[in-house]
Amino acid sequence: MESNHQWPTWEVFTQKKQGAPHEHAGSVHAPDGEIALLNARDVYSRRQEGVNIWVVPSDAIIASSPEDAGAFFDPANDKMYRSPNFFKTADGLKQI
């Protein structure tokens, strides 16, 4: 038995309302997916935060590393034309 007796961690994504994107809420420990789902429900939806939950094994997530930041994100700095800021929009439209 490994010295770390913690159960694996699972990342929790909750959906605020139908059609909305699932957003990262936090993580839970659990021995398997079903228990992870229940734990996520108990920890992250007690105050009506969501209508749907995803749980994903934390080690299934491939993340970029801080060292990648320069190469990954800086090149977008001077490319304003990628943002849809220059379109005329209807009055009262909050977002496009």
Residue numbers at the binding site for other proteins (CB under 8 A): 7, 28-32, 34-35, 38-39, 41-43, 46
Residue 63 CB, nearest approach to other proteins (Å) = 23
Residue 90 CB, nearest approach to other proteins (Å) = 42
7 vs 79, beta carbon nearer other proteins: 7
Please tell me the distance from the alpha carbon of residue 36 to that of residue 27, in angstroms, as a whole number.
Answer: 9
Residue 55 CB, nearest approach to other proteins (Å) = 12
69: which 2 tokens? 């930041």
* 3-class DSSP state of 4: coil
31: which 2 tokens? 């021995």
* 3-class DSSP state of 59: helix
CA terminus-to-terminus distance, the chain: 53
15 vs 37, beta carbon nearer other proteins: 37
43 vs 76, beta carbon nearer other proteins: 43
